[in-house]
Structure 1
């Protein structure tokens, strides 16, 4: 039986819609185009027939989506600041806010002399920050660290497929980085409190790694530990860039308000929420 692309896409959209998926047509198109490894635009004009195996895989993916699995995981990748970042359940799905952070870091560092400088992406996850920054600023050495071996496997794959060299380290916080000194640090760390974690949407709590989200009772665990441990790993005049929770700006600014920390600035995302914090050391 011939299964034309357009007919399959339409039946897939109807399947999603009948099961309560709001953006059913768009999601069916994205899932099918990712499966066929073609753009959505070319899919619109496709007149080919699909093999039985592709047809079956398409509806298996639709069923995963109906069950509540995030669209990005069903597709298997996220486009992130001119990079394609593969993902699975071992890593956090890169969000728009993190893409804004990557762009912010690139814009702040690009005017500087970066030859011989080293940037650390702490809690790298999928590697999206490290990879995007390295592609935009190839002269800087980029180091990426994470406690999760599974996340680092994904990050290494993403670095290779995006054609960048990054030095990866596995371990807890700065533990695997002894002897290293950094000129820049960027991090999208866990920053969700225990209470807020319990109230997360099921698409997040069931499908994304708890360790990449939860940061103790208050959500401040990472930042407090960074303030205690980071100085011995930072060169003079080092710059630091964090993603933060929307309600954490004042607390983080207060945490880093004393010497040798300086120039702490809270910045907002596109929704006008506190989302980024940058600072320097003397």
Structure 2
């Protein structure tokens, strides 16, 4: 994109960028071109359409070219823009955390459905904090604790809690280690579930830019689920719930792990696409 010899109007820039990002394998290239241009110009999408014939200022075009170059290298749009909406809230995202995904809202809905009166909630592997913070707003009576193994992830989660006016207890450590001897009415987790062999085949946006610690689920993708199923009963109140986000096709294996650990009332919940996205169980033993 040469800026010296041509006049780049809004429409011309969008047309060029759509073709460029499409060639680079970016899905929804036109929409992403618009989002990037909104960021560079300070306009919303309606503003872009109302200014199709307006030339971009030099500083706007320079900022836009930089962002388009990054996206052409398949850096996630959310990293370039710096945030992602989730459950009606806005979350800071960096390479240190998974980008919040719409599928995970299935876990929130099921948590509210199964444990609407929960007084204590534990989020294992909180990442950006999107689950814990959203549950803070959905379950206002509950005290929320969030754990992560990564100090950098917890730093982002704390910033997101402050940004979204959520009072969360954040603890550093692996699985249940930071909450020894405590019990909860509800435990939720979106653990790593990609098999180690499949990591190389992920989209570049995920493979090259999101934290491997939050992706690699071991040889069969179930390493974290084995730990969660086996250890959660020691940290659940009687009648407490363990609810887990899973990868496509993992529902039967995870349900078996929960049943073998003594959970009952096993649930398997589909997302809006009909894919089983959440498996959970209730702990009745005292």
Does the residue aligned with 2:166 lie in a helix, a strand or coil? Answer: coil
Unaligned runs of 5+ residues in structure 2 are none
User: Would the alpha carbon gap of residues 272 and 22 (structure 1) be closer, same or farther in structure 2, given more than 3 Å must change?
Assistant: closer
Match runs of 1:266-277 below 5 Å: 266-277=268-279
Task: Give deviations 1:118-140, integer Å, cap 9, x for gaps.
Answer: 11111111111111111222221
Q: Give the match for residue 122 of structure 2.
A: 120
Q: Does 2:74 match 1:68?
A: yes
Match runs of 1:203-242 below 5 Å: 203-242=205-244
Shift, 1:179, TM fit: 3.5
Alpha-carbon separation, structure 2, partners of 1:87 and 1:38: 22
Shift, 1:5, TM fit: 5.1
Shift, 1:238, TM fit: 0.8
User: Would the alpha carbon gap of residues 259 and 223 (structure 1) be closer, same or farther in structure 2, given more than 3 Å must change?
Assistant: closer
Q: Does 2:101 match 1:95?
A: yes
User: Would the alpha carbon gap of residues 16 and 216 (structure 1) be closer, same or farther in structure 2, given more than 3 Å must change?
Assistant: closer
Q: Give the match for residue 265 of structure 1.
A: 267
Of 28, 32, 44, 1:27 maps to 32
Of 16, 21, 28, 2:21 maps to 16
Match runs of 1:54-203 below 5 Å: 54-110=60-116, 112=117, 114=118, 117-203=119-205
Shift, 1:35, TM fit: 4.2
Does the residue aligned with 2:259 lie in a helix, a strand or coil? Answer: coil
TM-score, normalised relative to structure 2: 0.87
Does the residue aligned with 2:107 lie in a helix, a strand or coil? Answer: helix
Shift, 1:155, TM fit: 0.9
Alpha-carbon separation, structure 1, partners of 2:103 and 2:27: 23
Paired residues in the alignment total 278
Alpha-carbon separation, structure 2, partners of 1:167 and 1:36: 38
Cα RMSD of the aligned pairs, angstroms, is 2.4
Does the residue aligned with 2:268 lie in a helix, a strand or coil? Answer: strand
Of 276, 280, 283, 1:281 maps to 283
Unaligned runs of 5+ residues in structure 1 are none
TM-score, normalised relative to structure 1: 0.88
